[in-house]
Amino acid sequence: MLLEVDSSVDQAILFVNEASSTHKLHMFLNHMVWDVTNVQCFKMSEAAQENLVKEFKSCLTSVLITSDAFSTRIDFPHGNMVINFDLPQDTTSYLQRLSRVSRFEKKGAAFNLVLPNCLDYMTKLEKHFELKHKEIQPWNCIDSYKSAFKEARMGEGELYHIVLTFTSKTVANHQLWNSNYLHKI
């Protein structure tokens, strides 16, 4: 749903904490008919990974799925959205992820997909970086996303922080592949 909300979204980077999660997301998004690049395949050489990043930079795909291992190696001049599928482990990683869209003095949005057990950590990140965010409720309402994007475009050269909070019922109803991997999109 995030990727379909606004035609002004050129490209997005979707960050996860574990490289093993990228494959599952890649399969899911491809199934949903999204042009997705996954640069964290275990059997892929570093040269092949770099080639995929070049393809992404050339706008041949609209979504790049990666972990923090690539967060400092990706310049993202065409993109205007970062999706934190998992919150990063520390403040440095959070800053590196967000800087992928805020480095080129243009507007963008950072979506943080947050489970209830991570709300305290999200609050700590916001205090550390003095962030203000827009919380989307209900998370499955397309109008909520459109409203958030409209507000995001109002600030010139700013990165807009959006938090999606999921209830335990939401998580229980949207599990994907197995009980250890939750579908949060």
Across the chain, which has 185 residues, the per-10-residue mean pLDDT values are 56 84 79 71 75 82 81 69 86 83 64 81 86 64 67 52 50 35 37
Give the domains, in start order, of the chain with CATH numbers. Answer: 7-176 (3.40.50.300)
Give residue 7's pLDDT.
55
Interior angle at CA 119, CA 115 and CA 125, nearest 5: 120
Q: Could you identify the residue written with the tokens 């909070």?
A: 165
Q: Which amino acid is at 185?
A: I
Give residue 38's pLDDT.
75
Phi, psi of 165 (to 5 degrees): -105, 135
Helix (H) or strand (E) segment spanning residue 169: helix 168-173
pTM of the model: 0.74
Helix (H) or strand (E) segment spanning residue 21: helix 19-31
Q: Which amino acid is at 59?
A: C
CA 49, 50, 56, 61 dihedral sign is negative
Dist. CA 20–CA 110, nearest whole Å: 22
Q: What is the pLDDT of residues 20-41, one digit of tens each?
A: 788 788 877 777 667 777 766 5
Q: Which amino acid is at 16?
A: V
Q: Could you identify the residue written with the tokens 């690539």?
A: 70
